[in-house]
Amino acid sequence: MALTDSLHPLVFDGHNDVLLKLYRAGGVAAAESFVAGCPGALDVPAARAGGFGGGFFAVFVPSPTDLAVKFEEMTKPEYQLVLPDAIDWEDAFPVVMAQAAILFELERLGAVKICRTVADIRAALASGVMAAIFHIEGAEAIDADLHTLEVLYQAGLRSLGPVWSRPTIFGDGVPFRFPSSPDTGAGLTDAGLRLVKRCNQLRIMLDLSHLNEAGFWDVARHSDAPLVATHSNAHVLCNHSRNLTDKQLAAIAETDGMVGLNFAVAFLREDGKMLADVPLTQILRHIDHLIAQVGEDRVGLGSDYDGAVVPEDVTRVSGLPALRRAMQDHGYGDALIAKLCHENWLRVLEKTWGG
Ligand SMILES: [Zn+2]
């Protein structure tokens, strides 16, 4: 009997921006709409309809820039978006608290289970409640003394991106450029290196997805954990600054790390445009290349749902059965599909967090 049906294996995914969506929709008061059904890509009914088992729930402090303008700019043949200014700790901290409060409210409502161990994730996947990892994308709310890191860890934080693309006290991120190498500027600061060390000690997973290449190599040199990019694609197939070169992929393989495939169309398409008419076969081309570079145990999904324009066949998580079908049609067997859908994430998290 085939183990892959339209809703299985469940997808456990490297990145979503649901907390930002609910923050913009009214904060904690909007959490109930996630249970009943709300606009956008991900909510409880769509997750049930698509076999979405959970993933990394990003807390993200938005810059005042208009996303619609940004996505419009990214439909041009070439673009170099100007990065928003750095955000001060005083401004970032209340936003991170507000979005974390939404996550705790989602748990109180029974919509998610905040997972601190891989055993927690396995139990959530088996129970039908969405598994949520408390992740922060961009460490603006963390102070140079790392006191807030300690407190956030105690509150359940298990994954952290030292930067979103804008600069922080910890380093520079990669701007949105096409065509462009990811080698766009300076790497981590001394505070950034201290952050890496402390995350290693606490076993908080470090997410490399928005670091520029210099920052990536700084983490590679200083971290003792597997290298993980939660939502990035293959640079050789899409010459975008946000994607990973084969050299970076080799380093990820060497540390037994992981890449989550980003559905954002600008990082999938050969022309780098943020336009949704992308066939699912283009996702599979990237997965094929990632598997060729890092091996089939080190690739998963990192959709960027509710944070990006995604291919029209998987606009909402309820569309995920189409991706499972496309994987089967592409010749992937049940075992590989299970690895891609969630097993590889559990594997790398076990290595990073401990058993
Ligand atoms: Zn991102």
pLDDT in tens, 226-265: 999 999 999 999 999 999 999 999 999 999 999 999 999 9
- 39 Cβ contact partners less than 8 Å away, ≥ 6 residues apart: none
How many Cα atoms sit within 13 Å of 323 on the Cβ side?
A: 34
Cis peptide before 179 (omega within 30 of 0): yes
Q: Flag residues of the chain having pLDDT under 50.
A: 1
> Separation of 21 CA from ligand 1 center, angstroms?
14
Judging by beta carbons within 10 Å of its beta carbon (0-12, 13-18, 19+), is residue 197 exposed, middle or buried?
middle
Burial profile 44-77: b = 16 or more Cβ within 10 angstroms, e = fewer: bebbebbbbbbbbbbbbbebeeeeeebbeebeee
> Separation of 332 CA from ligand 1 center, angstroms?
27
> Separation of 20 CA from ligand 1 center, angstroms?
12
> Separation of 50 CA from ligand 1 center, angstroms?
22
Distance in angstroms (rounded) separating the CA atoms of residues 54 and 198: 27
> Separation of 236 CA from ligand 1 center, angstroms?
20
β-strands 52-59, 11-16 pairing:
parallel
The span from the first CA to the last CA of the chain, in angstroms, equals 31
Distance in angstroms (rounded) separating the CA atoms of residues 288 and 256: 18
> Separation of 209 CA from ligand 1 center, angstroms?
7
Distance in angstroms (rounded) separating the CA atoms of residues 301 and 42: 15
What does the pLDDT look like over 66-98, one tens digit per residue? Answer: 778 888 999 999 999 989 999 999 999 999 999
**What does the pLDDT read at residue 238?**
98
Q: How many CB atoms lie within 10 A of CB 30?
A: 16
> Separation of 62 CA from ligand 1 center, angstroms?
11
Closest alpha carbon to 11 in 104, 118, 131, 102: 131
> Separation of 238 CA from ligand 1 center, angstroms?
17
> Separation of 261 CA from ligand 1 center, angstroms?
12
**What does the pLDDT read at residue 69?**
84
> Separation of 1 CA from ligand 1 center, angstroms?
38
**What does the pLDDT read at residue 2?**
66
Structure tokens at 223: 């971290």
**What does the pLDDT read at residue 4?**
87
Q: What are phi and psi of 88, to 5 degrees?
A: -70, 155
> Separation of 250 CA from ligand 1 center, angstroms?
22
> Separation of 3 CA from ligand 1 center, angstroms?
32
Q: What's the farthest any 2 CA atoms get from each other in the chain?
A: 56
Q: What are phi and psi of 159, to 5 degrees?
A: -155, 140
> Separation of 305 CA from ligand 1 center, angstroms?
10
User: Which residue in this structure is represented by tokens 């989602």?
Assistant: 106
